[in-house]
Amino acid sequence: MRMLRAMFRTLCLVGAVLVSVSTAGALEEGQSGIGFFGSAHVPIGKFKQWYSVSPKLGVSYNYAAAQRVIAEIEYHYSKMGGGDLDSREFTWAVDKKNYRSPNASQNMWFHSFSATALVHFRDLNQGGTMPYLQGGLGFYGYSHEVSGLIFSGQTGQTLNQTLLLSPYKDKRAALTFSLGGGVTIVGSEHYLIDIRGRFNIMLGELRPLEDWQLRKAFPLQALDLIVGVKYYW
C-alpha cells in the first residue's frame, strides 16, 4: 500500500504541475500521443478472496480519431498482493483439528494488452476538463502459482506435514472486456491528465481450494482507479 500511495502522489503532483503551466490548450483531431499511468487494481467478487488491492502500471499509445473520440492501445503490468494461503487453515478429517501450511506460497502476475475508446461529451478542441465514457476489449495474460500446501486428504494417525500437494502454475490469456468513465484534463497543447475508473471482466479462472475456503473464481473481476499523464505531438 505504501508503494500505491507513493505512485498516486507522484502522478497527481506531475498532473498539478502540468495543469498549472497552461489551461488554454486544446487537442486536435489526428494528433498522436503516448501515455503513462498508475492505478489501484481492486479485485471484486470471488477474486477478492484470493488477493487484495495491488498497484498496476501501464503505457499507452493514443490517437485522436475524431472530434470527441480518443483511441488507445494499452499495455499493463500488475503483480497481485495480499494472498494469505500461509495463514489459512484446513480441517483434517481424521482428528477434526485445524492446521496451517506455513510454507504455502501464491503469486499472480498480469501482462495485458487492450484496445480502448474514450468517447467525450465535448469536442476535444474545446480544451479544459472533458468527461468521457470508455469501453475496451483485450487479452489479459496471467500466471498464477501455488505451492507449499499440506496434503489435506491424507489418512493415518498423525498428520504428515511434509506431505504436500503438487505445486501448480496456470498460465493463460483471457479475453477481457472493460467499461468505465473519467475526465480528460487538457493542461497544454501537448499534455493531458487522465483520471478514470474502469470495471474489468476477465474470462479467466482461479481453480478452487475448497479445504482452504477458496472457491473457484470465474470470471475474474476487478476495478481500476487510474491516474495518467499523456503527451501529444
The C-alpha cell at 214 is 477458496
Q: Which CATH number, 3.40.50.620, 2.40.160.20, 3.40.1080.10, 3.30.565.10, labels domain 2-84+105-139+175-204+212-232?
A: 2.40.160.20
Mean pLDDT of 120-148: 93
CA–CA separation, 23 and 116 (whole Å): 26
Which residue ranges make up each domain of the chain?
A: 2-84+105-139+175-204+212-232
50: Cα within 13 Å, side-chain hemisphere: 28
Percentage of residues in the chain with pLDDT exceeding 90?
Answer: 78
Tell me the C-alpha distance between 194 and 231, whole Å.
11
What value does the mean pLDDT take over residues 147-166? 93
pLDDT of residue 1: 52
CA angle 7/9/10 to nearest 5° reads 65
Per the model's pLDDT, the better-predicted residue between 20 and 216 turns out to be 216
3-state SS, 196-230, equals EEEEEEECCCECCEHHHCECCECCEEEEEEEEEEE
**Least confident piece of the model among 24-38, 107-121, 127-141, 172-186:** 24-38
pLDDT tens per residue across span 195-226:
999 999 999 999 999 999 999 999 999 999 99
Q: What ranges in the chain are assigned the alpha helix state H?
A: 2-21, 47-50
pTM of the model: 0.82
